[in-house]
Structure 1
Amino acid sequence: MPTDRIKFLIQLYFDKTIDNSQQSELSEWVKNHASDEELIALLSHAWQANDENIVMPEVASKNILSAVLKSSSSKNQKKDSNKIIPLNKTAPWIKRFVIAASILIVCSIGYFLRKPAASHNAVARNINNTKGNIIKPGGSKATLTLSDGTKIVLDSTGNGLLTKQGGASVIKRANGKLQYLRDQSVTSEVVYNTMSTPVGGMYEVVLPDGSNVWLNSGSSITYPTSFSRNERRVQMTGEAYFEVAHDRTRPFHVSVNNMDVEVLGTHFNINSYDNEPSIKTTLLEGKVKVSKGNATVLIIPGQQAVTAKLSNDLSINKNGVDLDQVVAWKNGKFVFIDDDIKSIMRQIERWYGVSVTYNTNVTNEEFIGVISRSVNITQILGMLEKTGSVKFTIQDRNIIVQ
């Protein structure tokens, strides 16, 4: 590709005016280019064309890095697109470093050049695994608890009609989804069901009003088999993603940890795990009202309500919310952006069903990365080890972080 064309595409990229076809053209050239040095020089030229004395802000640099990383991952599904990069907060985010890092994911330059060349599998095999056991990822697993206390293990139950509850047919679909079909001609008392996922499980349920809910691992949702005429109300623990069916006459309420989320019809995610420092409600579509005690906030798409667990404090994160990262679990990925090792390991604990022990002097570096949730645990730990910032030992189902 002519150099002038490359400069033109790179400038569009920095100006945020690049379209999909141009993005694909640039990405293809980046992936197949032989000279990392020339690539960095061209990127430097594009940035310096704006103002050669400006240091790229840290937020902007991380946004570019994560955007390129996710773009690379989505366009290389059949290739090895899993990457993790350590972010050293003590290092200045000067523009040349950031420009190099933003292409790191595609070209394997910069930081990885300072590490011995090795495949991801080779790195993973070097992890100290005292028992040699393979720890596999989680999957589609859940238990349905009926109104009378009867439990149905969904992952070991056949498809089709499971039972009838309060005038609704409970059906397990072939795609691993649980669905409630309400018979409008039947009037009965309100009864409640609970769907819960174990550590290492996730599941989807279609509620009687047609709303879809995805449960992450170690989570639960309790709901009536028939909603009232005035409102729709559910309770949850852990993490769940909601796509609420629109009904302006019946607001949809989610109760979690003494907090209430009210919507009419919208898409949002709630993370309320006990071992996370706060409850985060992130909105993708529509409008949401979040209330706790006397405090109430309204959020719009792209915003996140952060709720303190030990008080009624509510705040709104208006900037820097990466929606792809928030719902990555639902889409079968881990997406790390500004995550320290303990935050990453909490996600690994929940998905792989392991415990984690930390030795002293664990790194406080933060990481950026995209990894499939379908890989064995040694592969994800191997990717983290490849950064040179952390090491692991596996003892049975306990991970020791060094």
Structure 2
Amino acid sequence: MNPKINLQELLSKYHAGTITDEERVLLEEWYTRWRPEQQELSSEEIDQMKADVWQSLNVTVLPAATKRLWPRLALAASVILCLSVGGYYYLSNSKVSQQQMTAKVEKADIAPGGNKAVLVLNNGLKINLNSQINGTIAKQGNIRIVKTANGKLAYAPDNTDPSIVVYNTLSTPRGGKYNLVLADGTKVWLNSASSITYPTAFKGNDRTVNITGEVYFEIVHNAKQPFRVKFKGHTIEDIGTEFNINAYDDEQVIKTTLVAGSIKLSRDSRSVLLRPGQQSITSLSNTTIEIKDADINEATAWKNGLFKFKKAKIEDVMRQLSRWYNVDVSYPYGIPKTVFSGEMIKDANASQILDMLAYFKVNYEIVQQTKGSEKKIIIKP
């Protein structure tokens, strides 16, 4: 198959709204592998490409200094359009030259996060899951802990004393994520800088776990043994549920978003019931529980490999980037007032994400920290 014809066909399908999910994934994969510094174009091709790309992006400028980031698939499709003719990526009205863009690519960059986690057993032993081969990695009580081929951690019963129940903790660092299947079949997704403490088997009248950071749950419902999640003085009780909890220490509010089923959220003497599509918002500074309609796609974007912003301030955007790329961010010249909306894939180097912000005059520099191998993002005027 001719790659050029195939790519143009996919782009045409995207514009027509007939592209399949598999073809969307293919576009995104090509986008993440695209390397602009390896491309060359004549001036005529550049002019044509600028017009084609700008038309495919369909960027919307929002009022009151709000900017819309390039839509995820439109960005991928437009990049593929350039790639299909061996071209270089230019935006209409962009003042960044090819030499400037190439120089930026050659500077320090940061790779995206991935499956990284540490398992702490009941006896305090720490297991770095990155270095473990697939299969049984430990035994706790009457349960075998198994690392599966698709990068998950699962708990399987063993033929030993079923009365023994011990606790494990799974934690992800900045730049990490991990999936977990609990002993009852409940599925758990951990975002970067998050943790969950849980029993290796569920005995008694309930199933209780404790979390930090951001965690998504797909609960196996059992009316005789309710599932409870505890975090920062809150308790969620499941009534057959899928939900997301965002309870990072560096966020001003705690958000619980119900995707399916029903949950009861309790805090102190207050409790509320959430319906699918609703989100509770609480703050440690007061006892109020606010309920509002949620943007499910925004709340669960991280689980699906995306950044999704809706009228987000630059510091809100950068907190997410900081966790995913394991990088500190500073604003020595002040915090820009620009607000962003849009989607971007997470499986990309930091520079590819930051270049999108730079297009809207939020400039940056990635520098090496004085000590160690860590890097830092500086937001500049």
| TM-score of Structure 1 vs Structure 2, range by shorter chain | 0.7 to 0.9
Partner of 1:212: 187
Are residue 269 (structure 1) and residue 244 (structure 2) matched?
Answer: yes
In structure 2, the CA distance between the partners of 1:149 and 1:26, relative to structure 1 (3 Å rule), is closer
* Alignment counterpart, residue 282 of structure 2, candidates 277, 288, 307: 307
Partner of 1:398: 376
Deviations along 1:51-108, one digit per CA (max 9) or x if unpaired, are xxxxxxxxxxxxxxxxxxx9x97795356599986644268xxxxx99xx99x95898
Partner of 1:115: 94
Are residue 357 (structure 1) and residue 330 (structure 2) matched?
Answer: yes
**CA–CA distance in 2 between the matches of 1:124 and 1:286?**
48
**CA–CA distance in 2 between the matches of 1:275 and 1:210?**
31
Cα RMSD (Å): 3.3
**CA–CA distance in 1 between the matches of 2:353 and 2:103?**
13
In structure 2, the CA distance between the partners of 1:356 and 1:124, relative to structure 1 (3 Å rule), is farther
CA deviation after TM superposition for structure 1 residue 181, in Å: 1.3
TM-score, normalising length: structure 2: 0.76
| SS, match of residue 77 in structure 1 | helix
CA deviation after TM superposition for structure 1 residue 328, in Å: 1.1
In structure 2, the CA distance between the partners of 1:161 and 1:180, relative to structure 1 (3 Å rule), is same
* Alignment counterpart, residue 346 of structure 1, candidates 294, 319, 323: 319
CA deviation after TM superposition for structure 1 residue 113, in Å: 3.9
In structure 2, the CA distance between the partners of 1:82 and 1:149, relative to structure 1 (3 Å rule), is farther
| SS, match of residue 345 in structure 1 | helix
* Structure 2 gaps, min length 5: 1-10, 32-55, 79-90, 369-374
**CA–CA distance in 2 between the matches of 1:83 and 1:198?**
37
Deviations along 1:270-293, one digit per CA (max 9) or x if unpaired, are 000011111100010000111111
CA deviation after TM superposition for structure 1 residue 25, in Å: 9.5
**CA–CA distance in 2 between the matches of 1:340 and 1:73?**
28
**CA–CA distance in 1 between the matches of 2:101 and 2:257?**
34
Partner of 2:301: 328
Deviations along 1:107-148, one digit per CA (max 9) or x if unpaired, are 98xxx64434778xx77645498xx33311111000000000
Question: Which 4+ runs in 1 deviate beyond 4 A?
Answer: 24-27, 72-76, 78-86, 104-108, 122-129
In structure 2, the CA distance between the partners of 1:307 and 1:29, relative to structure 1 (3 Å rule), is same
AA of the residue aligned to 1:222:
T
In structure 2, the CA distance between the partners of 1:182 and 1:30, relative to structure 1 (3 Å rule), is closer
- Alpha-carbon contact 2:315-2:335 (below 8 Å) kept: no
* Structure 1 gaps, min length 5: 1-23, 32-69, 92-96
**CA–CA distance in 2 between the matches of 1:83 and 1:274?**
37
**CA–CA distance in 2 between the matches of 1:82 and 1:202?**
30
Number of residue pairs matched? 323
**CA–CA distance in 1 between the matches of 2:179 and 2:187?**
7
**CA–CA distance in 2 between the matches of 1:182 and 1:309?**
39
**CA–CA distance in 1 between the matches of 2:59 and 2:360?**
7
Partner of 1:52: none
Structure 2 counterparts to residues 58-77 of structure 1, below 5 A: 76-77=27-28
Partner of 1:387: 360
Deviations along 1:229-250, one digit per CA (max 9) or x if unpaired, are 3111000000001000111111
Partner of 1:8: none
Q: Percent identity?
A: 40
